[in-house]
Amino acid sequence: MKAMVLKKICNLRENRQPLELMELPDPVPGEREILVRVSACGVCHTELDEIEGRTPPPHLPIVLGHQVVGRVEGKGSKANKFRAGTRVGIGWIYSACGRCKFCLEGNENLCPHFQATGRDANGGYAEYMTVLEDFAFPIPEVFSDEEAAPLLCAGAIGYRSLKLTGIRDGGNLGLTGFGASGHLVMKMVKHKYPRTKVFVFARNPKEREFAKELGAVWAGDTAERSPEKLDCIIDTTPVWKPIVEALRNLENGGRLIINAIRKEEVDKDWLLKLDYPAHLWLEKEIKSVANVTRRDLSEFLELAAEIPIKPEIQLFPLEEANKALIELKEGEIRGAKVLKMV
Ligand SMILES: [Zn+2]
Ligand SMILES: [Zn+2]
Give the ligand whose atoms come closest to the C-alpha of residue 95: 2
Q: How far is the CA of 130 from the centre of ligand 1 (A)?
A: 18
pTM of the prediction? 0.91
State the Cα–Cα distance between residues 97 and 99, nearest whole angstrom. 5
Rounded CA separation 256/164 (Å): 9
CA angle 69/75/79 to nearest 5° reads 105
For residue 226, the 8-state DSSP code is P
CA distances from 4 to 44, 173, 234, 289, 325 (A): 15, 38, 32, 29, 12
Q: What angle do CA 69, 75, 78 make, to 5 degrees?
A: 130
Length of the chain equals 342
* CB contact set of 192 (below 8 Å; sequence gap of 6+): 162, 169, 303
In this prediction, residue 189 carries a pLDDT of 97
Strand partners, 316: 339
Chain-centre distance for alpha carbon 20: 23
Q: What is the pLDDT of residue 231?
A: 98
Looking at the CA of 92, which ligand is closest?
Answer: 1
Distance between CA atoms of residues 57 and 53, nearest Å: 8
β-pair partners for 338: 42, 315
Q: What are phi and psi of 128, to 5 degrees?
A: -140, 155
Instruction: Please write the tens of the pLDDT for every residue from 52-108.
Output: 999 999 999 999 999 999 999 999 999 999 999 999 999 999 999 999 999 999 999
The model's pLDDT over 69-78, given as tens digits with 9 standing for 90+, comes to 999 999 999 9
Tell me the CA–centroid distance for residue 134 and ligand 2, in Å: 14
Spell out the domains of the chain, with CATH numbers in brackets. Answer: 2-138+312-340 (3.90.180.10), 156-288 (3.40.50.720)
- Round the average pLDDT of the chain to a whole number and report it: 95
Strand partners, 21: 4
Q: What is the pLDDT of residues 257-313, one digit of tens each?
A: 999 888 989 999 999 999 999 999 999 999 999 999 999 999 999 999 999 998 889
Q: 78 CA distance to ligand 2 centroid (A)? A: 22
Cα(329) to centroid(ligand 1), Å: 14
